[in-house]
Amino acid sequence: MLEVKDLHVTVEGKEILKGLSLTINPGEVHAIMGPNGAGKSTLSAVIAGKDGYEVTSGTITFEGKDVLEMDIEERACAGLLLGFQYPVEIPGVKNIYLLKAALNAQRAARGEDEMPAPEFMKLVREKIKFMKMDSSFLQRAVNEGFSGGEKKRNEILQMLLLQPKLAMLDEIDSGLDIDAMKVVADGVNSLRDANRAILMVTHYQRLLDHIVPDVVHVLVDGRIVKTGGKDLALELESRGYEWVLEESAA
């Protein structure tokens, strides 16, 4: 589904990713862990198409298509969706506006008609209930004045509505208390199915107790240095990252 090969990325002249390779198949949940500054957030930002990241070599393909040749919105419409670590506040744009505009843009890209308003409202209400959010959130400006936890729930709400093929979640657990974590994890877990993949970037093992990954990667200094099953995350939690570095250097 997603194939990243020997990716090199520089930010403001500094090389952040130094030959990263990664393969994600449908139905899989991957977690990328690593110390601060390893390049975890860079990877998902590059896949989503954020400005300021220069790909100096390597490829990213999604379902056989060259992702680096696609516009930001094309990537999203193709089913590549990024849940932000720090969701931006958009004053004056109501949540309901964003959801409708995004959903219809994606439908249009697939050649489908706009979803009729009553059907749309029914769908939104169902998803918002699942995320234990009050319907008043729909009329509020996107993320404006939301707490950290509310912003993250809002990201997942968008995922539930837009149903991406590959959901990328960048530090979705940061700033969440345990109750919010459960709601967010339930949301993410509801997305799991045989045709969809999830890529989580996280600093802490804690999230992985709630969203159990199939594959865990350790990203250190711009490269994936170790890949394993869910137990690897537990090992990292107890032993830290040093041993992985030593092992890969050996």
Partner 1 sequence: MSDEQTFLDALSARGTRRGAEPTWIAARRQAGAARFEALGFPTRRDEAFKYTDVRAIARGDFTLAQDAQDLTPLSPATAAALTLPLEALRLTFVDGIFAPELSDLAALPSGVSVEPLSQALADNHEAVGGALGRLAGVDFSPFTALNTSFAEEGAVIRLAPGTVVEAPILVQFLSRANATPLMSHPRVLIEAGARSQATVIEHQVGEEEAANFSNLVSEVMLERGAILTHYKLQEASLKDLHVSSLHIDQGRDSRFTSFNLNLGGSLVRNDIVAELNAQGAEANYYGLFFAQGRQHVDNHTLVNHNAPHTFSNENYKGILGDRAHGVFNGKVIVRRESQKIEAHQSNANLLLSDRAEIDTKPELEIYADDVKCSHGATTGQLDEEAIFALRARGIDEETARGLLTLAFAGEVMEQVSLDAVAERVERTVAGKLPERFNLAGLVEVAAALDEE
16 makes contact with partner 1 (CB under 8 A): no
- Cα distances (Å, whole numbers) of residue 9 to 60, 185, 212, 228: 12, 30, 29, 24
Residue number, 158 or 202, with CB nearest to partner 1: 158
91 makes contact with partner 1 (CB under 8 A): yes
92 makes contact with partner 1 (CB under 8 A): yes
- Cα distances (Å, whole numbers) of residue 128 to 45, 137, 157, 197, 201: 26, 9, 7, 22, 24
Burial 83-111 (b: 16+ CB within 10 A, else e): bbbebeeeeeebbbebbbebbeebeeeee
51 makes contact with partner 1 (CB under 8 A): yes
Residue number, 96 or 212, with CB nearest to partner 1: 96
CB of 61: closest distance to partner 1 in angstroms? 19
81 makes contact with partner 1 (CB under 8 A): yes
Q: Which of 6, 23, 37, 73 binds partner 1 (CB under 8 A)?
A: 73
Cβ–Cβ < 8 Å for 21, 6: yes
53 makes contact with partner 1 (CB under 8 A): no
- Written as six digits, the tokens of 197 are 């993949």
Instruction: Count the residues of the shown chain that bind partner 1, applying the rule CB under 8 A.
Output: 43
CB of 145: closest distance to partner 1 in angstroms? 15
Tokens 């990664």 locate to: 22
Stretch that binds partner 1, among 60-68, 105-113, 175-183, 238-246 (CB under 8 A): 105-113
Stretch that binds partner 1, among 2-10, 29-37, 84-92, 238-246 (CB under 8 A): 84-92
Binding site for partner 1 (CB under 8 A): 48-51, 71-73, 75-77, 81-82, 84, 87-94, 96-98, 100-102, 104-106, 108-109, 114, 117-118, 120-121, 138-139, 141-142, 158, 162
